[in-house]
Amino acid sequence: KVIDIKALGLSSPGEEIVELKLEYPDWKPGWRAGQFVMIRPVSWPLDLVWGRPFSICNADDSSLTILFQVVGRGTERLFELKEGDKVNVWGPLGTFFSKPADRPVLMLAGGMGIAPFCGYVDTHSQPENLKLFFAHRPALENYPYKSLSDKVEVEDIRETKPEDIPAIITRVDELVKEYAEKDGLITACGPMPFLRTIWNAANKYGADAELSLENRMACGIGACLGCVAKDGDGHHTQVCTTGPVFKATDLSL
**Least separation, in Å, of the C-beta of 216 and ligand FES?**
8
* Minimal distance, residue 77 CB to ligand FES, in Å: 19
Rounded CA-CA distance 22/5 in Å is: 9
90 touches ligand FES by CB under 6 A = no
77, amino acid identity: R
Mask for 213-232, x = binds ligand FES (CB under 6 A):
----xxxx-xxxxxx-----
Residue ranges in 11-60 assigned as alpha helix (H): none
Pick 127 or 226: Cβ nearer ligand FES: 226
For ligand FES, the closer of residues 217 and 245 by Cβ is 217
* Measured CA angle at 132 (ends 92, 178), to 5 deg: 120
Following DSSP, what letter does each residue of 150-182 receive, concatenated? Answer: GTSEEEEEE--STTHHHHHHHHHHHHHHHHHHT
CB atoms within 10 A of CB 43: 12
CA distances from 146 to 132, 141, 191, 195, 228 (A): 11, 8, 21, 23, 34
- Using CB under 6 A as the binding criterion, the count of chain residues that bind ligand FES stands at 12
* 116 binding ligand FES? (CB under 6 A): no
Closer by beta carbon to ligand FES, 198 or else 213 = 213
Q: How far is the CB of 219 from ligand FES (least distance, A)?
A: 4
Name the site residues for ligand FES (rule: CB under 6 A).
217-220, 222-227, 238, 240
